Amino acid sequence: MGLTLLLFGCKPGGDGSGNGALASSAAEKVYVAPGEQDEFYAFLSGGYSGNLTVYGLPSGRMFKEIPVFSQFPTSGYGYSEETKPMLNTSHGFIPWDDLHHPDISQTNGELDGRWIFVNGNNTPRIARISLSTFETEEIIEIPNSAGNHSSAFITENTEYVIAGTRFAVPVPQRDMPINEYKGNFKGALSFISVNPEDGRLDLKFQVMMPGFNYDLSHPGRGKSHGWHFFSTYNTEEANSLMEVNSSQNDKDFIAAINWKKIEEFVNNGGGTKMATNYAHNVYNEETHTGTSTMVKEVLTVDPTEVPGAVFFLPTPKSPHGCDVDPSGEYIIGAGKLSADLTVHSFTKMLEAIEAEKFDGEAYGIPILKFEDVMAGVVKSGGLGPLHTEFDSSGNAYTTFFISSEVVKWKLETWEVVDRKPTFYSVGHLMIPGGNSRKPFGKYVVAMNKITKDRYLPTGPEMEHSAQIYDISGEKMELIYDFPTHGEPHYAAGCPADLLRANSKKIYRLDENKHPYAVTSPDQARVERNGNEVHIYMSTIRSHFTPDNIEGVKVGDKVYFHITNHEQDFDVPHGFSMLGQNTSEILVMPGQTKTSVWEPKQVGVWPFYCTDFCSALHQEMQGYVRVSPANANIDLSWSLGE
């Protein structure tokens, strides 16, 4: 019996990787032994979780979830007083967004590992995350935009992070009939400059394009550096029943924008200043505090004012993905209603522009001839192409949503050399460095939309599934499935060595400039200012200073300003207070964070540390005595008396 099981007990596995020797060789490829570390970091968008998740490759182990656009009780992001300003917008405090596309900063077209940029789709925003602290350092709202989808993509020296609007809207926003969309709505493409020293963002200009949908985009690189390419759909400018009405045109466009030319125009005083209102939120690592500033003006550029800067490349069938190969020569448009991929040639595009071979215009923007700019067609045999990434040996890899597969093909010959199924309905894919001038190859991660039978069922909702393929050989090999969190769209990956050495271990207490910091325990105190009570508190294994507080009254607003005095790597302390209308906070070594409590009931209420920090973690607790509003009890605090 046992023997039979041994011989025939192998799970068949529907993917061809599940049997015998094949499975064990796949296992070896993804096996990172206990105590060993992964070769690559992978940053997966969290989609409707609003956050970014960090995985190791090839193990598929999840290391961290970085809160960006969504409140996150695990760290207190968006709940602590210091981080609430990060989620401020012109619509007020917006504690959620839909995050699609991460992109790592580059120098000379190669990943440099300083920052990662991501987009918020819903209430248009761009965020910059430090790859030293793995914290969100900056969020800038994008005015005149809606469904900020063709974002956040980085030019090859991180000059700009580029954000295009998916939905055209009235600019400026106003009360008008929806069916007057055509010709009246605009599509804003935003160019946000990045300060090379500290990464600070500045919305430099917006190109006010016709009211199409700008779906995805990629920067030129190498020879096409200075250009940026956007796929469009709904060039019909329909405003209802889009699935039919925006699929009428046989071809939509890829918009080619010469941003260097527009930058020059703007630097010479071109463009129109327009009144607006958007939030710019910056986190300061020394004060451990975010501040939100409202900006009232934006510089807009009418593309017809800058001749030679904007062109349309006809591209079949409502293209979704818009990808540029590592050489910068080929621009790949994935017509999502088509079987074929259209590849445009940058060189041919320049020649056609030079020769002024136009095929009409749209709103004053010249349209190039399809035949003049096309480099080739990939006859894939698949259905529903979405996104393409590249390896370092001249191969491209495209996902096909409808036929559920990754197709490998050769640049320049356009021939398909391999295809492997995905499980199921793949969206984006990612190769470490696969959208830069220097892809690292080795693995493709396919991020799927439908999971079904890949894991044990977990009720009606399954986490999305990602798959790792080994691409080091001629044929791709599926080697691993792993669950992801939220809905990953795009992802970015880089070698672990690029980040590991710069990863911050602690915040130095002697550099803490938080106005409510307590840099030595004898500064701990409680102060009253009207009905506000400020508790200056410190933590160290395993107590709070102070841990007994009296004189708080019902109706007070109590601020716990907690400074963690640990100076060891990976020793946070947490804080939570009974009856608090917020989340706990997790305070990193050397950091100060603030948690608010508005006591509603008289009593003696405990607080405690939420992070199991030492053998005496359970002893890390304290009490606040809350007296009636009219009580006559002086503030007092103590520790061990």
Q: How many CB atoms lie within 10 A of CB 93?
A: 13
Residue 475 makes CB contacts below 8 A (sequence gap 6+) with 418
Distances (CA, A) of 608 to 278, 507, 574, 623: 39, 23, 8, 9
Site residue total, ligand K7E (CB under 6 A): 11
Q: Provide the 3-class DSSP secondary structure of residue 596.
A: strand
Asked if 427 interacts with ligand K7E (CB under 6 A), we say: yes
Give the pair of three-digit tokens for residue 180.
Answer: 């007057």
Residue 428 or 543 having the CB closest to ligand K7E: 428
- Closest distance to ligand CUA from the beta carbon of 539 (Å): 6
Residue 491 or 620 having the CB closest to ligand K7E: 491
- Binds 489: which of ligand K7E, ligand CUA, none (CB < 5-8 Å by kind): ligand K7E
Asked if 149 interacts with ligand K7E (CB under 6 A), we say: yes
Query: Are 484 and 500 spatial neighbours (Cβ–Cβ below 8 Å)?
Result: no
Asked if 50 interacts with ligand K7E (CB under 6 A), we say: no
Taking residues 191 to 230 in sequence order and writing x for each that binds ligand CUA by CB under 6 A, - otherwise, the string is ----------------------------------------
Q: Provide the 3-class DSSP secondary structure of residue 310.
A: strand
Query: Are 71 and 583 spatial neighbours (Cβ–Cβ below 8 Å)?
Result: yes
Phi, psi of 189 (to 5 degrees): -110, 120
**Chain CA centroid to CA 568, Å:** 30
- Binds 100: which of ligand K7E, ligand CUA, none (CB < 5-8 Å by kind): ligand K7E
User: What DSSP line would sit under 201-238, residue for residue?
Assistant: EEEEEEEEEES-EEEEEEE--GGGTTEEEEEEE-TT--
Q: What angle do CA 112, 115, 119 make, to 5 degrees?
A: 125
Residue 78 or 589 having the CB closest to ligand CUA: 589
Q: What is the DSSP letter of 322?
A: E
The whole-angstrom separation of Cα 574 and Cα 289 is 18
> Which one of residues 288, 428, 573, 593 is an interface residue with ligand K7E (CB under 6 A)?
428
Asked if 336 interacts with ligand K7E (CB under 6 A), we say: no
Residue 31 or 612 having the CB closest to ligand CUA: 612
The whole-angstrom separation of Cα 266 and Cα 552 is 57
Asked if 537 interacts with ligand CUA (CB under 6 A), we say: no
Furthest-apart CA atoms within the chain: distance in Å:
87
Give the pair of three-digit tokens for residue 487.
Answer: 């809905």
Asked if 386 interacts with ligand K7E (CB under 6 A), we say: yes
Residue 609 or 626 having the CB closest to ligand CUA: 609
Q: What is the DSSP letter of 64?
A: E
- Closest distance to ligand CUA from the beta carbon of 134 (Å): 21
Q: Within 40-59, which residues bind ligand CUA (CB under 6 A)?
A: none
- Closest distance to ligand CUA from the beta carbon of 609 (Å): 3
Site residue total, ligand CUA (CB under 6 A): 8
Residue 227 makes CB contacts below 8 A (sequence gap 6+) with 219, 220, 256, 257, 258, 259, 260, 346
> Which one of residues 383, 525, 611, 635 is an interface residue with ligand CUA (CB under 6 A)?
611
Q: How many CB atoms lie within 10 A of CB 184?
A: 15
- Binds 613: which of ligand CUA, ligand K7E, none (CB < 5-8 Å by kind): ligand CUA
- Binds 611: which of ligand CUA, ligand K7E, none (CB < 5-8 Å by kind): ligand CUA
The whole-angstrom separation of Cα 311 and Cα 317 is 18
- Closest distance to ligand K7E from the beta carbon of 149 (Å): 6
Residue 186 or 320 having the CB closest to ligand K7E: 320
Q: Which residue is nearest to ligand K7E (CB)?
A: 427
The whole-angstrom separation of Cα 494 and Cα 502 is 14
- Closest distance to ligand K7E from the beta carbon of 569 (Å): 36
**Chain CA centroid to CA 465, Å:** 18
Q: Within 482-511, which residues bind ligand K7E (CB under 6 A)?
A: 489-490
- Binds 573: which of ligand K7E, ligand CUA, none (CB < 5-8 Å by kind): ligand CUA
Give the pair of three-digit tokens for residue 432.
Answer: 């470490």
Stretch that binds ligand CUA, among 255-263, 551-559, 588-596, 607-615 (CB under 6 A): 607-615
The whole-angstrom separation of Cα 400 and Cα 338 is 10
Terminal-to-terminal C-alpha distance of the chain: 71
Asked if 562 interacts with ligand CUA (CB under 6 A), we say: no
Q: What is the 3-state secondary structure (H, E, C) of 532-562?
A: EEEEEEEEECCEEECCEEEEEECCCEEEEEE
Stretch that binds ligand CUA, among 226-234, 498-506, 593-601, 608-616 (CB under 6 A): 608-616
> Which one of residues 26, 80, 86, 100 is an interface residue with ligand K7E (CB under 6 A)?
100
Residue 340 or 566 having the CB closest to ligand K7E: 340
Residue 164 or 290 having the CB closest to ligand K7E: 164
Stretch that binds ligand CUA, among 21-29, 391-399, 404-412, 611-619 (CB under 6 A): 611-619
Tracing tokens 């040639």 back to the chain, one arrives at: 345
Q: Provide the 3-class DSSP secondary structure of residue 298.
A: strand
Residues in contact with ligand CUA by the rule CB under 6 A = 542, 573, 609, 611-613, 617, 620
Residues in contact with ligand K7E by the rule CB under 6 A = 100-101, 149, 216, 320, 386-387, 427-428, 489-490
